[in-house]
Amino acid sequence: AQTVTQSQPEMSVQEAETVTLSCTYDTSENNYYLFWYKQPPSRQMILVIRQEAYKQQNATENRFSVNFQKAAKSFSLKISDSQLGDTAMYFCAFMKEGNTPLVFGKGTRLSVIA
């Protein structure tokens, strides 16, 4: 079974600064996909970024980028120029190849401080 671990229950960052959220995972699969989801207080989960394990290049979406280290099974999220609207729970998630469900970590609560 796959497991996803987020070791930082809470983090805070000053507005306009950069913050990195950590995620590690355990799997015996060679092909898989990794995700970061954001869950604001409204509860609606929103996909932030996706990484295919077979791609060596780290994914980037505007202010969000990942550091994917396949050998270390590590998948961290970097948020640059943090904004107040980034305040939310952030979940790291794993999906195997094929039509399989997402496996989520426990989340990191990020607070952006003005």
Q: Exactly one of 4, 19, 49, 110 binds other proteins (CB under 8 A); which one?
A: 4
Closest separation in Å from C-beta 41 to other proteins = 11
29 contacts other proteins (rule: CB under 8 A): no
Looking at residue 57, the DSSP 8-state letter turns out to be: S
Return the structure tokens found at 39. 């869950």
Measured distance CA(114)–CA(8) in Å, rounded:
21
Cα atoms in the 13 Å half-sphere on the side-chain side of 30: 0
**Measured from the CB atom, is 42 or 114 closer to other proteins?**
42
Beta strand 3-5 pairing with 46-52: unpaired
**Measured from the CB atom, is 5 or 14 closer to other proteins?**
5
101 contacts other proteins (rule: CB under 8 A): yes
The footprint of other proteins (CB under 8 A) covers 4, 32-33, 37, 42-47, 50, 52, 91, 93, 95-107
